[in-house]
Amino acid sequence: MKAYLGIVQKVLDQGSLKSNRTGIDTYAIAGAIFEHDMSNGFPLLTTKKVPFRLVASELEFFIKGITDKQWLIDNNNHIWDEWANPKKVPYAHDEETKKKMMSERDLGAIYGFQWRHFNAKYDNYDSDYTGKGIDQLKNVVDTLKKNPNDRRMIVSAWNPCMLDEMALPPCHYGFQVTVIDGKLNLLWNQRSVDTMLGLPFNIASYALLLHLLAKESGLKEGKLVGFLADVHIYENHKTGAIEQLGRDVNKYKLPTIQTNKFTSIFDWQYQDTEVINYESHPRIKFDIAV
């Protein structure tokens, strides 16, 4: 995907060294735009292996509004293992705190909670939030069916009232759906962009969400657009970034995806969607900065 690799190259060429809360400095630029037409294939990177199963299971986790880390662990997804509700385990870098964060299953009022129960009072991962808060995702789905020309189909994960109750303040903090010429387009906003590790997941996740919303509404798939703010590459990711840029982007074509047994986005399970003809260069290991 040349659009993604162009962002990587821009950060390496123009990025300024910048410190941050993780303790690992980054090369950062002030903004980039990612754009992809879904008719050209599903945007799963081919210059390194991206595990679609992890992308899809995390998206189901968000769509269902779940905040229990154990649900992900039970589905062999460990991308949230290091995080915890800061009300229960205040964030810190020392080893004792890291162990406590790992063992705490409550992630707090993160993405899916805001998507499905915006601004509801948060109690615990196993509390019943039925009918509480604003179900932003359902509102978007309903509007798509009743008035697809609406320009207010927006879902926000950024809730200033509850940031201190989230394991991590949302990096991709909002998305909008717009329908033009019978095609559903999805545009997301991201405040902080881990270019090598996080961005490939974000691209695939929002592309999958676009796909599901298009199936829900009976519309064709249009464009995926990301408005990216602090776009950075961690110092310990630079070698891997250079390796990835050196790989042949034309060696493999983008795959497609197929969703089976679809009834509703709210009943969808990640196993219902499969990737067709996905080939890629080998995985590149990038350590996560917590």
Tens digits of residue pLDDT in 252-288? 999 999 999 899 999 999 999 999 999 999 999 887 7
Q: How many angstroms separate the Cα of 242 from the Cα of each of 48, 269, 289?
A: 12, 36, 19
Is 242 a residue whose pLDDT tops 90? yes
In the 8-state DSSP scheme, what is residue 110?
-
156 within some domain: yes
Residue type, 205: S
> What are the pLDDT digits (tens) for 112-123?
999 999 999 999
Is 1 a residue whose pLDDT tops 80? no
Q: Among 236, 287, 243, which residue's Cα sits nearest to residue 26?
A: 236
Q: Give the chain's mean pLDDT.
A: 96
290 within some domain: no
Write the CATH number for 74: 3.30.572.10
d(CA 12, CA 27): 7
Q: Is 49 exposed, middle or buried (0-12, 13-18, 19+ CB in 10 A)?
A: middle
Rounded to 10 degrees, what is the CA torsion of 145, 148, 151, 156?
30
> What are the pLDDT digits (tens) for 5-64?
999 999 999 999 999 888 899 999 999 999 999 999 999 999 999 999 999 999 999 999
> What are the pLDDT digits (tens) for 124-141?
999 999 999 999 999 999
DSSP letters of 255-289? -EEEE-S-S-TTT--GGGEEEES---SPP------
Residue 35 pairs in a beta bridge with 225
In the 8-state DSSP scheme, what is residue 11?
H
Q: What is the average per-residue pLDDT within 210-227?
A: 98
246 within some domain: yes
Is 290 a residue whose pLDDT tops 70? no
Counting residues of the chain whose pLDDT is more than 70, the rounded percentage is 100
261 within some domain: yes
Residue type, 45: L
287 within some domain: no
Q: What is the average per-residue pLDDT within 153-165?
A: 98
Residue holding tokens 């019978």? 182
108 within some domain: yes
The two structure tokens encoding residue 172:
């991709």
How many distinct structural domains can be found in the chain? 1
Please name the residues in contact with 276: beta carbons below 8 A apart, sequence gap of 6 or more. Answer: 255, 256, 257, 258
Q: What is the average per-residue pLDDT within 215-240?
A: 97
What is the extent of the structural domain holding 254? 2-276
Active-site residue list? 171
289 within some domain: no
C-alpha 237, offset from chain centre: 19
d(CA 255, CA 108): 35
CB 144 within 8 A of CB 136: no
283 within some domain: no
d(CA 11, CA 48): 18
> What are the pLDDT digits (tens) for 191-207?
999 999 999 999 999 99
CB 173 within 8 A of CB 166: no
pLDDT at 270: 98
